[in-house]
Structure formats: structure tokens, C-alpha cells
Structure 1
Amino acid sequence: MPDSKRYLHLEAIKRISRLDLRAKHVVEGFLSGMHRSPFFGQSIEFRQHREYAPGDDLRHVDWKVWARQDRLTIKQYEEDTNMRVNLLVDVSNSMKYGRGVFNKFDYAATLATSLAWLVLKQQDAVGCMTFDESVCSRTPTSSKKMQLNKIVQTLESASPKRKTDLSSIFSDAAETFPRRGIMIVISDLFGDVQSTLKGLRLLRQRGHDVLVLHVLDEDELEFPFSGSSRFSDLESDTKLNCNPKALRDGYLEAINEFLAEVRRGCARASIDYAMVRTTDPMDAALAQFLSRRMARK
């Protein structure tokens, strides 16, 4: 892991206006403390079936074939060294929130571009899909030199304005990217938790490796407000006039329950999950997340 003193300050990153240069700055800061290249791993493609033989690993038995034909077969796979990584970036209205250096969308877009830069540096393929309640844009997966520019253009042209429907988005992504690869979801995950987890499980069932970067603002986690306030729901017309101190305990209980439910659901589905705050140095967030992932490989 990089020394904490080497992490880049968010204010310094914010001063770099171009998203591609900002991402390059983040990734170079991240790589400076890594001892080896953070490869995501190789892609695995199904090739064929063969008859089961005593001693074969039961994890590779195709139980669907057994149920239909009453015979044991083993699924065989082949490795594809060109890993396909697809970034699913939330551009719904709630992502506009933020009182710090970055709002959630700016932070998410910079993380997404940094990951794209990193994947392309490894000569692997990366694509991007932005979404709110429907798919807003798609950048097909590619490892070509101009791919980073295409992803940057996609993210820079995004304008958060609608609500989120994560379940339908993940279903759409499963159809859009049928070849197995890595799906990296970057979102605040606000919406019905069970529907969200159902969508994430669908991606896993289709054979994808799923990573979730759960981006939240410090205010959403700490609820530091005081005095008479008016709160507006960014994804509806709902407004609430209240004394925040009277709501704080109930709010914190609800947000912690929400986070715990998301973590448990991801763990049960073998989905890599990390919650990141928009106050976290971006190179630190990448280092901590990908270092844990490398340690498990």
C-alpha cells in the first residue's frame, strides 16, 4: 500500500479541469506506491462439456445438464488474456449532491476515468455505460487508443437530472455486455435495496465478476445539520421543513441499516464492495479497494 503521505489532496485534483488529465494524475499517484501492476485477472470463457470422471472437481459439474439428461458433465473453459471491463456509472439526480470539493457525480466520473486509464494501460478492454432510470449512453468495450477519449466524452456530456432504477439498468447491462467480464458499478445505490441486489445478482448469474464502488457524501453519512432547515429530494418534488436534530438519530439508524443490507447482499453474492466518501483521496480509494482485491486472487 502507498504511504498515506503520498495520497493526493482532492483540492489539487480539482484544479485539473480536464477529466483525462485528472484521471492520469490520480492513477500515477496510485501506482507510485504499488509493488506490482494491479491486474484484474484473466477472462474465462466457456468452451465445451466433457463427461465427468472420478476425481473431477464437483464445482465444475453442470447441474443443469444433470437435471435435464441425468448424466454428469464437466464444464471446460479457456482463458482470454484480453480482460473486458465495463464501467456502469450512475448519473441520476441524487449524484449531484455535495458540499465538499467534489459532488458525488464529479467524484464518480473521476474514479471511472481513472479505472479506464488503468485498464487501458494494462492493454485490456474497457467500456462505459451511464444511467439514471434508463440507459443514457453506451461506449462499447474496446482496447483501442482512442477509447479513453470516448469514455471521457461520455462522462463529460452527462448531466444528472432524473431518478434511478437500478434493477432495470443491471438487467439491461446483462444484455448489452453478454461476454463475461468485470462489471464495475459506481453509484450511490439510492433506491429499493432488494431490487438493486436482485439486479447485481443477475450480473453474477450471467458469469460477470461484479465490483461495487458505493459513493456517498459525508453529509449523507454523518447528517451534520442543525437549526431550522428545508430538505429537498433531488429525485422527486418532495420537500421537508424540520429541525434536523429531531431527525438525526432516526436518520443515522436508517442509513446504517441501508449500508449493512447492501454489504450483506454483496457478500452473499460474492460481489466485491467498497463504500467510498467524496472526502477520501481518490488514489487512496483505488489503492485500498484494488489492493484488497489483489490479495484475494
Structure 2
Amino acid sequence: MTQRTWAEGLAVTAAEQVRARREELGMSAQQLADECARLGMPIQRSVIANFENGRRANISIAEVMVMAAALRVAPIYLLFPIGQQREIEGLPGMPADPYAWATWFTGESRGVGDKRLSEEEPKPLEPVRELWPVLEEIAHYKSAIIEAKERLGEDGLASAERADEVLKRARARWDEAMSMRERNASTLEGEGAVPGSPEFRAGLDKAHDLAREAAVLSSQVKKAHEEAARYSHELIEIRSSERMLEGCEDEAREIIGRIRSNGWSDPDFGSEFAYLFAEKRSLTRRKRSRTR
């Protein structure tokens, strides 16, 4: 193939992709032209028609970008028939499947097949690709927390949290009492105190006091739990989602730290995630575990 016919072939492929996407959306050529104009780059309906019919054998990068936006599709899908054709000539005399050409185009691969087309270089897109799914999970857990709290309502949430806090205090007190009882018994027996003697019992008094306090708390827990029983599922969901959210935010901060350590600019993921990028403290890696 000559350079001209190869370039024309690329334009034909792009034209086919534009037409297919436009028809999929039920959009006329005039509507596509109007949408391109609305986006700030007018493209006449006749130009679009000539391009789709093969009478115009070229397309500019600017036109690809604005038509992709007008057709609500990523520009790469207008350039490469990914998943639709087995092979395209991505460079003159170099046929390969569209997947290979697309990954080379986006920097995910260094070439096509055994043909190396670019050298190793910094890859600022890689951490951004890692960050996308983490941010999606953050959005998911935030939404889950909001929905669970809405189901609870303010009164239900306060009641459930009150029961949860009382239960934690009761368990901590009981564990402390039992631990102290065992320690005191072991110490007194080692010193020769006779179980049941005044000395022995005196050594256990504090443990008994703690146990009584735990018993009082336990009765409060029972009452609080009865009050909040119908909210337990939502409270568990909130606590679980909060833990998962914290882990996801830690992972996002670690990735952001890697982006900054390479001197690359922060990507903009919108106001929802701006707080992760606004933090000035050191973003160090922390272990986290997540389950699905």
C-alpha cells in the first residue's frame, strides 16, 4: 500500500465507526453537526455526509475528538474497530488486530506482536488506571453508607450507635475484670495466700467491682439492643462500609503519592474526590484488606 492509500484506509475505518455509532444512537447527520457546533467546533452536515460516504478521505485529530464527544464515545473507538474486525493496517504494511493497535496507541504496550514501536519511558497513565477502580469503590461505599443512614433515620442511627457503644464498654469492662481476677489469683497463690482467706479475697475486690460494673452495663446493653434491634442490619452495613471506605482511601492516597513522587501533575477526578488530592501530609503506603 502507498502512504496515501494507507492514510485513506484509516479515514475509511473512522468514517465507518462514526456512522455506526451515529445510527446506534438514532442520530441524524444534522443532529451530529449541531452537537459538534454546541461543543464549540462546527462541522457542516455536508462534511459529515461526505466523510461517511468516502468522498472525503481524511479526518483531523480535532474532528475525531469533537465527534467522539458528540457521539458520547471514547475517541479510540472511532479510530480502531475494536471487537469488530480481526485485523487492520495500523501502520503502512503492518496489519494486526485492533486490540494491539489500540493498546499501543494508549501506551499500554510498546508495540504490536514482535514489532517494538516505542522505547521504555515513564508511564503517567498507569497509576491513573490503577486509581480509577479504587475511586469507583470509594464512591460505592460512600453511597452505601448514605443509603443505610437514610434507612435508619436520625433517631434509628442514634439508637443503634448508642447500643453499639454501650456493648463495647460492657465487653471491655468484663474482659478487664476477668483478666484482673486471673492475675490476682495467680499472684496471691504464688505468695502463699490461701484461696478463700481475707487476703485472697481482698486481692479480688477490684476485679469484682469491675465485674459488677460490667453487669450493670450489660443490662443497659440489653435495653439498648431491644430498642435498636430492627436497626442492626443497617448498623452492620454502615460499620462494614466505613472500614472498607477507609481502606480504599488509604490505597488511593498511596497511588497519589506515587504520582507525585514522579513529579507528575495530579489528575482531576472532579470535586467528589478532591479531598484526597488536597491533603498535604505525606502519602505513605498502609496495608489494607478488602473483601467482596
Q: Which structure's CA Rg is the greater one?
A: 2
TM over 0.5: no
User: What is the TM-score of this pair, normalised by structure 2?
Assistant: 0.26
The structure with more strand, counted as a fraction of residues: 1
Q: Which has the higher contact order (CA 8 A, sep 6+)?
A: 1
TM-score (normalised: structure 1): 0.25
